[in-house]
Structure 1
């Protein structure tokens, strides 16, 4: 349980006058576009992937997605797409490390003890949203694990309630499958709510916790969101107009609620993000049902602050907030975090909600200089 200390948590502000727009072009060594786990026919799964709709779009002119290859693990509720990167000595420059995609730790080449960073993504997209941070963490010697929540990206969309318990169970299943005992846990937006639930229920498996714009703060939601979460009628309305509404929203708004100024972001990156959302809406089997179920079963309007008192007071926590975030407003977020997580370090960066898109360099500094500063490999 948390203590009731009134000590003010340390607060750090990271600012910048420019927004990076260039996308990285790093590649990783891998042999197949899609690779199954040991219990699944690799040939049949690759064929299924290549001949069905599980092939998300990718804009070569500009994207925050960098690494296309992945593996699959057959977990409790279906296939989960994941990417496990280990630090490998660069062939072109032996003084540098680069990410190497591996199926499991049996394929690990480094003799050093593994320190693993597990990332949980937000509601709309999937694991690729962390790709810009993979190389900086690899360079520091960390192993990085990304995965797609059920119903998102290249993971299955099982017919189940999409609750925080569901997503948490998927994450626990995956690290158990990979025989990982403890992780450095990072959760962004909805993934921040899942990470909070993780810390409240399985704190012994977390070394350090980082919440990036976490969806745990009570927030106002649009009328349309309130309507579609109504019992019975909400699902009917969502099936009737949900797809067209989601597509119209991203095409017209171009994520203006997620970044401070979309005009300052490489338009190719914005276009790529839009196409990825449209692909999920129009082509990914089960996405709309999973998306509606996520909204219906998780009361984001009221937040998830009730989880915070169950997080141990001795767990190191960093919370990263955007100074211009309108999704998770910084004033209410800071107040809630200071009250419920007095041990947390709060880091503010000059950004809207989509840190990875708008301010990757500031986010990198916040993660490496603050969140991981006492745990150098």
Structure 2
């Protein structure tokens, strides 16, 4: 059964379960609480009266003689002590729970932060991987470019050597004797110089052979061109002669055409005159009408065209097949000689057409020139 006293350090009542200690000032405490107090306090003083004490003056264990009581009766102080202990334990557990909850919250925050950091690190890793891939591609491209540059450098070096060789060959081919001797002297007498000179000699021989072949082909081409020029001159002379001949023929044809035009115009005038003359019903006019209408010229013959259109060529070799009808013997009607007498001075046809006056009882005979003009 607990005593009606308590420890001022832990505020628990004294009981037989825990040892009670005392110091020389007379105050009592739990032995474990007093030792813990001396270990944690800056100075070894009494927790109650603050007097200076020492661990050598501690009475480790006190014994109390307490009268017996009925078993099973509840002690209020013990119950209170148990309640206080449970409250203290509960508050301690609460504090532990709060601390753990704070720790859990802190850990959650830490986990969230770590997750965010992990996401950022993953994103950064992806960016770095993409950058590494791009850098690898760029490195491969640069390596390719480097190989191309190296190949270009080798090509430039080779072309420079070739240009120097060509320049020296040009000096050998077109330079003066002093320049050639100076170049040979500068080359020296080393094995490479001898090989270079042998190459130059071979190149000169090849160039000489090529020049000979080119000269031969040029001479052959020149002879061929001369023959072609002579042939062309001959053809040109023939063409000029043909042109002159054609011009002469054209001039003569134009003259013939002009003469034909004049003849046609004169014939038209004669025809008009004859038509006027034939309008009077006389024996001579009847003969002339019969002569005109019985002309052997075919009716389907088209009139000649003296001028051609601009887009039509003049064919001078064109011929016409004209069928001349057979000669028709004209039969004159017998007329008594005393019924009609022609007066030669009064007949205008005898003057204009050139017909000779016939005797009484005979038909007038036309002059051949007049007949041809009518035809």
Q: TM-score band (shorter)?
A: under 0.3
- TM-score under structure 2 length normalisation: 0.14
Quick check: which one's helix share is greater?
2
> Which structure has more RCO (C-alpha within 8 Å, separation ≥ 6)?
1
- TM-score under structure 1 length normalisation: 0.14
Quick check: which one's strand share is greater?
1
